[in-house]
Amino acid sequence: MKVTKICCIGAGYVGGPTMAVIAKNNPNIKVTIVDINQERIDAWNDSDVSNLPIYEPGLAEIVEETRGKNLFFSTEINKAIDESEMIFISVNTPTKTYGKGKGMAADLKYVELCARNIAKVAQTDKIVVEKSTLPVRTAQAIKSILDHTGSDVKFDILSNPEFLAEGTAIQDLLNPDRVLIGGESEDAIESLANIYGSWVPQAQILRTNVWSSELSKLTANAFLAQRISSINAISELCEKTEANVDEVAKAIGMDSRIGPKFLKSSVGFGGSCFQKDILNLVYIARSYNLQAVADYWEQVIILNDHQKRRFADNLISTLYNTVSGKKIGFLGWAFKKDTNDTRESAAIYVADHLLNEQASIAVYDPKVSDSKIQSDLNYLNTRSEEENSKLIQGSATPYDALKDAHAVAIMTEWDEFKTYDWKKIYTQMKKPAFIFDGRNLLDKSTMEKIGFEYTSIGQ
């Protein structure tokens, strides 16, 4: 099928950047991103691109270049579905918070709603592309809904999981290691391969069956997260044995069979994907009664929770076993640098634990607002909104966050944290002035020379 119009349902962290890059590289294809959230669409249409709803290096420039030419943002979902030959589903698939599979399975209600809507609106044949991360065999459900419309419209379903990482989304999209397309219809697969082919070499466009494609996405995220939990497990052992986890990571990473990436020990991984996808993998394995498989992958999450908890406990015990009434300055709230996304950020859980111990927290993150910090904590429901807003506040500058603090907790690896005037920070803090570096970002000997009591991970 010759594709001249594409629609993407879901203007989020995946849909937005992916469609912007497709539009940039396919000037003859009209790309419309639709969303039920009017406010989000308005932000995508804001004439000042610094107000886009998501922050990604390089994104604003591409939106500025393509928006209004062949990239459009709209809430007119039905119109966009109707006029497009290809429809991407890129809505969120959070972990279920109710019913069967609560806390484990992916909630597919938004995906199903999209499929039903496409079935209702479509008058002409469509290629439907699953972009959202879905449990293996979801395409079956989508196909079943689309095949029971009673009309003679033909639907081809493709799985095209996204491997971009936030913070580097544009680079990952422009230079992907591979593009994965799973499907039955060769014609549909080639239609999508041609769109990517305008900038990705064909050899890097992998064609598989739908189920391999769906499962590969879950597996890739599980393997990546597993590496972090593995090195984090070793970090605790390093702290007992005077080994240095960064040295261990370097030494093992130079083995070409292991490789150097994703071996950075940290306060724990966050983000919208790793935990959700592994829980989902565990749930699927259990549903096939594969207990050993499920237990194996679940351990990745258990270790990650342990790492976050251990960081908070260590901070409390170092501050003479109490943080009650003490000011703790957080540097960073996002789940990693170069993004304003805070979903599942380790900072949220560490803060919650410290607030239970009656600490008072001031947070500085270059891209996260106070209202986001409040809503992240309120979502946990540990205490009332009033209590949260009394105990934790976002600060306008790092120096405000750290003034009179007993300790600094580095939660995100933003580059700018390294460039601060740490001597000035030291003079403005309570003494002894502690740094708990959850990202091994600062230089230990420099900090100790200034006078800080410096603790990092796995050292």
DSSP 365-421: -TT--HHHHHHHHHHHTSS-HHHHHHHEEE-SSHHHHHTT-SEEEE-S--GGGGGS-
Other C-beta atoms closer than 10 Å to the C-beta of 272 total: 21
Q: DSSP assignment, residue 221?
A: H
Q: Which helix (H) or strand (E) holds 121?
A: helix 109-121
Decide whether 25 or 133 has the Cβ nearer to ligand UDX: 133
Decide whether 274 or 364 has the Cβ nearer to ligand UDX: 274
Decide whether 368 or 405 has the Cβ nearer to ligand UDX: 368
Decide whether 323 or 363 has the Cβ nearer to ligand UDX: 363
Residue 28: CB minimum distance to ligand UDX, A: 26
Residue 18: CB minimum distance to ligand UDX, A: 9
Read off φ and ψ for residue 200, nearest 5 degrees. -110, 130
Residues that bind ligand UDX (CB under 6 A): 9-15, 35-37, 40, 90-93, 110, 113-114, 132-133, 162-166, 221, 224, 228, 262-264, 266, 269-274, 335-336
Residue 266: CB minimum distance to ligand UDX, A: 3
DSSP 124-181: S-EEEEE-S---TTHHHHHHHHHHTSSS---EEEEE------TTSHHHHHHS-S-EEE
Catalytic residue among 30, 217, 264, 276: 217
Buried b (16+ CB within 10 A) or exposed e, 44-71: beeeeeeebbbbbebbbebbeebbeebb
> Three-class SS of residue 231?
helix
- What is the edge-to-edge ordering of all strands in the sheet holding 407-410? 392-394, 360-364, 327-331, 407-410, 434-437, 453-456
CA distance 194 to 191: 5
Among candidate residues 298, 295, 326, 224, the one with its CA nearest the CA of residue 266: 224
Decide whether 21 or 263 has the Cβ nearer to ligand UDX: 263
Q: Treating both helix axes as pointing N-terminal to C-terminal, what angle do 291-318 and 210-241 enclose, rounded to 10 degrees?
A: 40
Residue 358: CB minimum distance to ligand UDX, A: 27
Catalytic residue among 126, 273, 276, 327: 273
CA distance 416 to 405: 20
Residue 167: CB minimum distance to ligand UDX, A: 7
CA distance 236 to 459: 9
Residue 13: CB minimum distance to ligand UDX, A: 4
Decide whether 337 or 406 has the Cβ nearer to ligand UDX: 337
- Which residues make Cβ contacts (< 8 Å) with residue 260, sequence separation at least 6? 249, 250, 253, 254
Catalytic residue among 56, 130, 162, 166: 162
Cis, peptide link before residue 135, omega less than 30° from 0? no
CA distance 277 to 23: 28
Residue 83 catalytic?
no
CA distance 120 to 117: 5
Residue pointed to by tokens 């699953």 = 130
CA 289 to chain centre: 29
Residue 162: CB minimum distance to ligand UDX, A: 5
Residue 217 catalytic?
yes
Residue 7 catalytic?
no
Residue 53: CB minimum distance to ligand UDX, A: 8
Decide whether 166 or 214 has the Cβ nearer to ligand UDX: 166
Decide whether 110 or 296 has the Cβ nearer to ligand UDX: 110
The residue whose Cβ lies closest to ligand UDX is: 12
Catalytic site positions: 162, 217, 273
